[in-house]
Amino acid sequence: MKIQFKHFIRRHRKMAVLSLVVVLAAGAGIGMLRLRAGAPVSGEGGALEYARTVTLEKGELNESVNVSGTVESAELSSVTTLLTAKVKTVSVKIGDQVNKGDIICTLDDTDLRKELADKKQSLTQEQQKLKEAYERTLAQVQTAKDSKKAEQSVQDLRVSEAQRTLNSAKAALDAVTPAYNAAKSNYSTMMTAVSPSQNAADAAAAASQAAYNTWIAAGGTSTGMEYEAYQAAQADLTEKQAALDEARKLYNADAYSAALETAQQAYDPAAAAVQAAQAAFEQATAARHQTLDSIDATINQAVAAALDAKKQMDQGVSAKEIEELEKKLEDTVLRAETSGKITELKVNVGSLCKGDVATIQSTEKLIVSVKIPEYAIGKVAVGMAVNLTSDAVAGTIPGTLARISPTASEGESGGFPADVAVNKPESLFIGSKAKAEIIISSKTNVFTVPLDAVRQNSAGQDVILVKQADGTFAETPVTTGARNDYFVEVSGSRIAAGAEVLADAAQDGMDPDAEPPAAETENAETENNI
């Protein structure tokens, strides 16, 4: 029975696809496996003709989750076109590195250029028509302004004439107003003086009429109290009327009344003339405003038409079509929108293309697309450090767990899709395979041995088999600590740096006739020094 180098890995496999990346720091020298062929050794179970050992050294032990995936670009862009045209030139090939703005290919623009030339010629003719229309509207504006100027002169003359008539009427009224006011004042003074006598006479007349009515009602005889009362009222009226006549003579009432009547006859026509002249002036002013406002509306309409014609002349009704054709002409030159590597090219010279032309993947921002097994999803978190390895490059490349899908994928390759950001993208290549060690925790300055190097003795105590001076292996009690998929931390008073430990404790008592697996000897030292 041959010794199998990977026996201890198979016994502790926890996921469908595991990376063989050793989680110990390469510089620490921990876990160096040495297959010592031909060394006669023995243990509790019998003699061992061949044994694989590890040398105890202190170093770093990472608790980690190991997965594998494919290097992808974090930024992918497509070069596309909405045009349907033949490819004129192709400037790149798959695998080329391009910068943003670099030409990918050009399309045949013959038809577009002819159509653009025809449209420009048509536009020139249209613009000439628009120019002529604009000039006509300008002429209409000027005509309207001239009409306003002429009509304004006519209306101003009419208003001026009405103003002069009003002023003349006011002057005539002003000429008779003093005499009228004086006559009215004298008459008022006279009426104030004779008003007591006038009032007394008016009262006596009222009383006489009342007594008369009573007398008539009593029979109208020349005897009786009613007749006597009437005679007394008549006598009082005669007396009051005589007193009124005397007062009117005293204050020249007739002369003042005649003077007021004369002044009134001159004043009233003059006042009426002013009123008529004022109405005529206001009418002329209103007519002026109405006429000029109407002309202004015509001018405004003409100006608006002129502005609209000017706008159309400046822009042109076909300008948009020209712009669209010029944009299409620009689009016949297809350029890279991002920097990166050409990973897909769908055109060649002479082919008819529309839609996708090329795919560009950024080489400056890379990710490793992996799947985290369900058993480990609770241990990892975005932001954790990741050690990346690939057959395409030497050494370890730093990374960061950038994304974890909240939903597991279905199928045989189940797990939670995740992205590992590559911190040094220049070290990896798009499409290559990579192994990712997600660091959960790390311990330094500790002894570690392969998981298979630890077993339990009959007392249930953890032990390792340490090589003795005579070449035999002796059980040495240890206390185990942190572990990962491949290695476990050990400590104890009886272990020391430099000791050789049987890498697979299960080898004790194996077939002594087994031959050394020469091929696996080399692999053991190579794979465990990655």
pLDDT, one tens digit per residue, over 458-493 is: 999 999 999 999 989 999 999 999 888 789 999 999
Is residue 452 pLDDT above 50, yes or no? yes
Residues 189 and 126 in one domain: yes
Look up the CATH number of the domain holding residue 100.
Answer: 2.40.50.100
Average pLDDT score over residue span 123-146: 83
Type and span of the H or E element at 115: helix 110-218
Torsional sign, CA 328, 331, 337, 341: positive
Look up the CATH number of the domain holding residue 523.
Answer: 2.40.420.20
Could you tell me the pTM of the whole model? Answer: 0.45
Residues 33 and 61 in one domain: yes
Residues 141 and 263 in one domain: yes
d(CA 516, CA 9): 19
Residues 230 and 285 in one domain: yes
Q: Which residue has the tokens 């009123």?
A: 275
Choice between 317 and 121, residue whose per-residue pLDDT is larger: 121
Choice between 3 and 227, residue whose per-residue pLDDT is larger: 227
Is residue 519 pLDDT above 90, yes or no? no
- Residue 255: which of 175, 187, 197, 159 has the closest Cα? 187
Does residue 380 form part of some domain?
A: yes
Residues 208 and 155 in one domain: yes
Would you state the pLDDT for residue 187?
A: 87
Average pLDDT score over residue span 413-423: 89
Does residue 487 form part of some domain?
A: yes
Domain that holds residue 492: 7-72+370-401+418-527
Would you state the pLDDT for residue 508?
A: 62
Choice between 285 and 484, residue whose per-residue pLDDT is larger: 285
Choice between 105 and 424, residue whose per-residue pLDDT is larger: 105
Please provide the average confidence, as pLDDT, over all residues in the chain: 82
Please check whether residue 359 is in contact with residue 76, taking contact to mean a CB–CB distance below 8 angstroms.
yes
Residues 143 and 283 in one domain: yes
Torsional sign, CA 424, 427, 432, 437: negative
DSSP 222: S
Does residue 215 form part of some domain?
A: yes
d(CA 407, CA 16): 19
Residues 141 and 283 in one domain: yes
Residue 455, token pair as written in the block: 């077993």
> What SS3 class is residue 342?
strand
Would you state the pLDDT for residue 283?
A: 94
- Strand order of the β-sheet with 103-107 is 97-98, 340-345, 352-361, 76-90, 103-107, 333-335
Residue 516, token pair as written in the block: 């050394």
Residues 205 and 272 in one domain: yes
Residues 183 and 301 in one domain: yes
Does residue 322 form part of some domain?
A: no
Number of domains in the chain: 3
Candidate from 80-84, 186-190, 218-222, 319-323 with smallest mean pLDDT:
319-323
d(CA 67, CA 483): 17
Would you state the pLDDT for residue 491?
A: 94
Quote the crossing angle between the two packed helices 110-218 and 319-330, to the nearest 10°. 150
Does residue 481 form part of some domain?
A: yes
Burial class (CB in 10 A: 0-12, 13-18, 19+), 169: buried
Does residue 231 form part of some domain?
A: yes
Would you state the pLDDT for residue 319?
A: 67
Would you state the pLDDT for residue 526?
A: 29
Would you state the pLDDT for residue 9?
A: 34
Is residue 49 pLDDT above 90, yes or no? no
Region at 29 (left for phi over 0; alpha for psi -120 to 50; beta for the rest): left
Confidence of residue 220 (pLDDT cuts 50, 70, 90): confident
Residues 64 and 196 in one domain: no
d(CA 480, CA 449): 10
Q: Out of 115-129, 192-206, 409-423, give the one with best mean pLDDT.
A: 192-206
What is the maximal distance between C-alpha atoms in the chain?
Answer: 191
Confidence of residue 317 (pLDDT cuts 50, 70, 90): low
b/e 501-521 (16+ beta carbons within 10 angstroms → b): bbbbbebbebeeeeebbeebb
Candidate from 176-190, 223-237, 496-510 with smallest mean pLDDT:
496-510
Does residue 158 form part of some domain?
A: yes
Residues 98 and 176 in one domain: no
Confidence of residue 370 (pLDDT cuts 50, 70, 90): very high
Residues 123 and 262 in one domain: yes
> What SS3 class is residue 173?
helix
Choice between 396 and 410, residue whose per-residue pLDDT is larger: 396
Is residue 250 pLDDT above 80, yes or no? no
Is residue 40 pLDDT above 70, yes or no? no
Residue pLDDT, tens place only, 5-15 = 333 333 333 33
Confidence of residue 514 (pLDDT cuts 50, 70, 90): very low
Does residue 413 form part of some domain?
A: no
Average pLDDT score over residue span 508-521: 41
Is residue 251 pLDDT above 80, yes or no? no
Please check whether residue 120 is in contact with residue 396, taking contact to mean a CB–CB distance below 8 angstroms.
no
Average pLDDT score over residue span 318-347: 86
Confidence of residue 275 (pLDDT cuts 50, 70, 90): very high
Would you state the pLDDT for residue 474?
A: 92
Would you state the pLDDT for residue 36?
A: 35
